[in-house]
Amino acid sequence: MEKYDYNQTNMGTPQGGTISPLLANIALDQMETDLVEHLRSLKGWKTKIGTTRVSTKVDKKTEKSYKHRNNLKIDLVRYADDFVILHENKEVIEESKRFIGKWLEIRGLTLSEEKTKIVHSTEGFDFLGHHIRHYENRVKGTYRQKLLNGTPTEQRRAKATHVLRVEPTKEKVKLHYRDISDTIWKLKTATPVQLITILQPKISGWANYYKTVHSSEAFSKLDHLLWKRLYQWARRKHQNKGKRWVADKYFATVNGRRWTFAQIIGKGKDKKIVKHLKWYSKHKERTGSYAKVGYDRSYYDGDTAYWAERLSKGYGNITPSKVKMLKRQDGICPLCKCRFTNTDLPEAHHIHQRHLGGEDTYKNLVLVHLHCHDKIHRENPGIKGKTVSQTSPELQGLLNNGMAPAFQAEGLKPPTSTNTVLSLGGGAGRIITPASDIKPPTDTSTVLRTGKDAGIITPASDDDKGSILNHSSS
């Protein structure tokens, strides 16, 4: 469109472009709602589909309420233009396919016959790089008896006829290893540090995508293949050396794991590991440990308290290294004492600057806001020739549990996710905790609570008492 003249293009939107999923979400919005309404309008089908009533469920451990649609018997899971419809009745699935086909025609779209399939859950299907399938439950013998005498969850597992398993597809595993192998082949003359620097993001990115599903077998297989490929790379660099010499030069024991590929300098007692490769299995998490986002939650719904708490637990679009620091700091910036939110820009800060001799380790890192990071370097400029022992004592205090020294000097407890109040209005950016009898600022009209009363906005009153920790707003 230029000067009100419409010029048709032949190219269209490139596949894999950033605008492609946005356009898919716009075009396919309300698909689930329209499908459920259509199926419920059919005569005698209300019992098959269930009700759309939203009920509130309270978690016994956290005492937080979540909204669910427990009585709806059909599920539609969509990611951009890929979607899956789940129901126990094949007739419902066939009617859903017919309705969605017509629903898409109105929007100028069509279903791909090659990619659209109707299968039973015991046959399995692929979705977003995962293979989802119901397998026959093979739990038996003494282990089954142990489960029957255990918790209600273990008893249900023992009595189930089938178990659900979600794992990486074989095609994705092969494609990923081919990429890793080709990368190693192209870097025949690289140093171990250079090789680790290029390989680690590829390994971590792929492993983090599959770490919450049943990926132990895939990770174990890839670890073995990667070790063989790296050993082959090391042997090729030193064709006149023996196997033991090559193993001692490029492989070491790190955190109890032998044969870890690393950059090693020195020999004997002076031997030091500069950098090592983190294997796939080190990224694995316990299946089912991920906290599902609430039914009525959206990343842009303005509920800062809810998303800040999830961020402090490591859930969100954030790198694993920053997740580790967030958990250690309970999601709080040690400089301004304010909780990180989903719109903040967290920055990793070296407490002892590297050019002054500080190490690039988690013990020497703390996560701060971007504006707080700028403030630290503005107020503490590095001096050439200065040693680590001469650095600012205020920065040295950041090493203790990732919190600022003000907490230790004043004897205050750091704010936690259960007792924090974030002030809004004239005193925006201040954290209030029930650590003393000081009244909150009177220039605020509302306070946003986090923790047990998350999302509740109440007028500021004299009943809300706590110590005020000032924040330098940017």
Strands (DSSP E) found in 312-385: 346-350, 365-369
What is the reported pLDDT for 398?
54
pLDDT, tens only, 260-307:
999 988 887 788 888 999 999 988 877 666 677 766 677 777 666 677
Which comes out higher in pLDDT, residue 153 or 203?
Answer: 203
What would the mean pLDDT of 156-184 be, rounded to a whole number?
Answer: 94
pLDDT at 413 over 90: no
Q: What is the DSSP string of 149-184?
A: TS-HHHHHHHH-SEEEEEEE-HHHHHHHHHHHHHHH
What would the mean pLDDT of 361-371 be, rounded to a whole number?
Answer: 85
Strand partners, 457: 448
pLDDT at 466 over 50: no
Distance CA 222, CA 414 (A): 42
Q: Looking at 27-31, 161-165, 254-258, 293-297, which range is the least confident one?
A: 293-297
Distance CA 213, CA 227 (A): 23
Longest CA pairwise span in the chain (Å): 83
3-state secondary structure of 76: strand
The amino acid that residue 14 corresponds to is: P
Is 232 within 8 Å of 216 (Cβ atoms)?
A: no
- Of 286, 339, 333, residue with least CA distance to 310: 339
Query: Domains of the chain: which residue ranges?
Result: 17-111, 171-283, 304-381
Q: How confident is the model at residue 351 (pLDDT cuts 50, 70, 90)?
A: confident
CA 147, 150, 155, 157 torsion-angle sign: negative
Cβ count near 6 (within 10 Å): 6
Which residues lie closer than 8 Å to 458 by C-beta, 6 or more apart? Answer: 446, 447, 449
What is the reported pLDDT for 388?
43
Which comes out higher in pLDDT, residue 464 or 152?
Answer: 152
Token pair, residue 342, equals 């989903």
Q: How confident is the model at residue 99 (pLDDT cuts 50, 70, 90)?
A: very high
- Of 386, 350, 353, 380, residue with least CA distance to 368: 350
Distance CA 447, CA 441 (A): 10
| 279 secondary structure, DSSP code | P
